[in-house]
Amino acid sequence: MTADIDPFISNAQPGQLLARGVCRHLRSYDFVTVEELVPTRGLRVDVMALGPKGEVWVVECKSSRTDFTSDSKWQNYLDWCDRYFFAVDQDFPTEILPDDAGLIIADAYHAEIIRMPDEDKLAAARRKVLHMKFARHAALRLQSYRDPGVPAMFGGET
């Protein structure tokens, strides 16, 4: 498929292309996803995935070595998920990524989990908060597609 046929490809940033492939792949695990969710002030995850048993995965998409080395906040995401992954493209130097994080190789169309991280279960109270944030984020995003003016009317983000 080319950019002529798929307008998303020609308009997306490299990290958004990775996120798209990741979200497509996670559906094969029966996970649903949202992008750019804010779990707490000062953090915004690239992809949050909610599994069929309520599990929460966070995927941080890194488009280059510089993108990874300039990110000083990624460790703060560990407290907001059961499993944490980096998603990169096939040319990324994966040896610079931490061994205990999950690894996903992705492009705009597909992805593959190369390394599954150990599970570090969230506390029940935090899980409930994240499920609510996930649901509200997804609902607001859907409403913004159906009625683009609504978020601006109420000062909400999608």
Give pLDDT tens digits for 115-128.
999 999 999 999 99
What is the rounded distance in angstroms from the CA atom of residue 126 to the CA atom of residue 80?
8
pLDDT of amino acid 146: 84
Inter-residue contact 57 to 45 (CB < 8 Å): no
Looking at residues 56-84, what average pLDDT do you find? 95
| Fold assignment, 7-148 | Trna Endonuclease; Chain: A, domain 1 (3.40.1350)
Inter-residue contact 62 to 87 (CB < 8 Å): yes
77's CB contacts (< 8 A; 6+ apart) are 39, 43, 45, 58, 60, 84
What is the rounded distance in angstroms from the CA atom of residue 76 to the CA atom of residue 66?
19
Question: Residue 38: what are its φ and ψ, rounded to 5°?
Answer: -100, 105
For residue 27, is pLDDT > 50? yes
- The total of other beta-carbon atoms located within 10 Å of residue 74's CB is 18
Which pLDDT band holds residue 14 (cuts at 50, 70, 90)? confident
- Tokens 């493209």 belong to 89
The pTM of this model reads 0.88
pLDDT of amino acid 158: 44
What is the rounded distance in angstroms from the CA atom of residue 16 to the CA atom of residue 47?
10
pLDDT of amino acid 128: 97
Q: Whose CA is closest to 17, among 132, 84, 106, 115?
A: 106
What is the rounded distance in angstroms from the CA atom of residue 85 to the CA atom of residue 156?
28
Which pLDDT band holds residue 103 (cuts at 50, 70, 90)? very high
